[in-house]
Amino acid sequence: MTHDEKRYELSKELIASKLTHDKRIAEARQLLHAAVKDYQQSITEVRPPNTAVKTEYDETVKLLSHNRGGNLWFPYIGSGIGNGALVELADGSIKYDFICGIGVHFFGHNHPDLLDSGINAALSNTIMQGHLQQNLDAAELISFLLHASGFDHCFLTTTGTMANENAFKIAFQKNHPANRVLAFEHCFAGRSLAMAQVTDKPGFREGLPPNIIVDYVPFFDPAEPEKSTEKTIQVLKSHLKRYPKQHALMIFELIQGEAGFNCGDTQFFKSIMTLLKENNVGIMVDEIQSFGRTTELFAFQYFGLESYVDIVTIGKMSQTCATLFKNEFKPKPGLLSQTFSSSTSGIKGSLVILKNLINGGYYGPQGKIAKLHEYFVSQLTKLEKRHPDLIQGPYGIGCMIAFTPYKGDPKKVHDFIRRLYEAGVISFSAGGEGKNLARVRFLIPAGVVTHKDIDQVILITERELLC
Listed residue (76, 17, 159) closest to 421, CA to CA: 76
Listed residue (455, 383, 386, 462) closest to 419, CA to CA: 462
Report the pLDDT value the prediction gives residue 2, as an integer from 0 to 100. 61
Residue 436 has pLDDT above 90, yes or no: no
> What is the crossing angle of helices 451-465 and 410-423, to 10°?
130
Q: What is the pLDDT of residues 31-78, one digit of tens each?
A: 999 999 999 999 999 999 999 999 999 999 999 999 999 999 999 999
pTM comes to 0.95
Report the pLDDT value the prediction gives residue 335, as an integer from 0 to 100. 95
Residue 435's pLDDT band (cuts 50, 70, 90): low
Q: How many CA atoms lie within 13 A of 152 on its CB side?
A: 10
| CA pair distance 90, 432, nearest whole angstrom | 31
Share of the chain above pLDDT 70, in %: 97
Question: How distant is the alpha carbon of residue 161 from its chain centre?
Answer: 11
Residue 462 has pLDDT above 90, yes or no: yes
Question: How distant is the alpha carbon of residue 292 from its chain centre?
Answer: 8
Residue 139: other Cβ atoms inside 10 A: 12
Question: How distant is the alpha carbon of residue 305 from its chain centre?
Answer: 20
Mean pLDDT of 123-143: 93
Listed residue (84, 89, 85) closest to 74, CA to CA: 89
Report the pLDDT value the prediction gives residue 1, as an integer from 0 to 100. 54
Report the pLDDT value the prediction gives residue 5, as an integer from 0 to 100. 61
Please state which of the ranges 187-191, 202-206, 320-324, 437-441 shows the lowest mean pLDDT: 202-206
Report the pLDDT value the prediction gives residue 3, as an integer from 0 to 100. 63
Report the pLDDT value the prediction gives residue 131, as an integer from 0 to 100. 87
Q: How many CA atoms lie within 13 A of 10 on its CB side?
A: 8
Q: What is the pLDDT of residues 245-280, one digit of tens each?
A: 999 999 999 999 988 899 999 999 999 999 999 999
| CATH of segment(s) 42-103+364-467 | 3.90.1150.10
Share of the chain above pLDDT 90, in %: 91
Mean pLDDT of 432-460: 92
Residue 423 has pLDDT above 90, yes or no: yes
Q: Does domain 120-359 have CATH number 3.40.640.10?
A: yes
Q: What is the pLDDT of residues 376-393, one digit of tens each?
A: 999 999 999 999 999 999
| CA pair distance 39, 20, nearest whole angstrom | 26
Mean pLDDT of 229-234: 98
| CA pair distance 93, 341, nearest whole angstrom | 35
Report the pLDDT value the prediction gives residue 7, as an integer from 0 to 100. 67
Report the pLDDT value the prediction gives residue 154, as an integer from 0 to 100. 98
Report the pLDDT value the prediction gives residue 137, as an integer from 0 to 100. 94
Q: What is the pLDDT of residues 3-14, one digit of tens each?
A: 666 666 667 789
Mean pLDDT, the chain, whole residue set: 95
Report the pLDDT value the prediction gives residue 47, as an integer from 0 to 100. 98
Instruction: Choose the most confident range, by mean pLDDT, from 5-14, 112-121, 126-135.
Output: 112-121
Residues sharing a CB contact under 8 Å with residue 354, sequence separation 6 or more, in sequence order: 141, 144, 145, 148, 292, 297, 318
Q: What is the pLDDT of residues 76-96, one digit of tens each?
A: 999 999 999 999 999 999 999
Residue 467's pLDDT band (cuts 50, 70, 90): confident
Listed residue (321, 339, 315, 319) closest to 117, CA to CA: 319
> What's the CA dihedral at 134, 137, 140, 146 to 10 degrees?
-70
Residue 230: other Cβ atoms inside 10 A: 12
Q: What is the pLDDT of residues 344-372, one digit of tens each?
A: 999 999 999 999 999 999 999 999 999 99
